[in-house]
Amino acid sequence: MNFNLRARRRTTLVAAAASAAAAALYLLVGLEAVQVVTDAPATSDVRTFGLTAGAAFVVLAILLFAFERPVVWLLAALFQVGVIAMYVAVAPQRDPPVEVWGLLIKACQVVILAGVTILLLRRPHDAGGPVALHQRRI
């Protein structure tokens, strides 16, 4: 199956949009507009966590949108796997262990992970090369 430039760009835009959505949700957490834990320990700083994670996902959305490069896709995939794994690892220590906002963010991350995985597996041999750059601008 030929994964043409239009399909690749569409997949990239979906992954970038999912990253922007995750960023917005994390920013809501950071601004404490939504409640994610009912009993946060004194050492927990939900504001810093939410704002930092939101900023990271904004940067990821920009990188995905601006650079169609396998290294960006690989780093995005590794980042998603790491964040999802940390969420699952920390869940038993939280009250509640899972909540709707966290699950919505994880859904966004699954979309990002699926998108960048598709991009990595179906990339043409010249992905990111001078020909691809020229074709993308046309």
pLDDT tens digits, 75-123: 999 999 999 999 999 889 888 888 899 999 999 999 999 999 999 998 7
Q: What is the pLDDT of residue 63?
A: 97
With vertex at residue 83, the alpha carbon angle to CA 46 and CA 20, rounded to the nearest 5 degrees, is 75
Residues 82 and 88: their CA atoms lie apart, in Å, by 10
Residue-range definition of the domain harbouring residue 52: 5-36+45-137
What pLDDT does residue 131 have? 45
- pTM assigned to the model: 0.82
Lookup result for tokens 């966004």: 108
Give the CB-side neighbour count of residue 10, counting CA atoms within 13 A. Answer: 5
With a cut of 90, say whether residue 12 has pLDDT above it.
yes
- The one-letter code for the residue type at 17 is A
Dihedral sign for Cα 44, 58, 106, 110, please.
negative
Rounded CA-CA distance 131/53 in Å is 35
Q: How many domains does the chain have?
A: 1
Which pLDDT tens digit goes with each residue over 34-84? 877 776 655 468 889 999 999 999 999 999 999 989 999 999 999 999 999
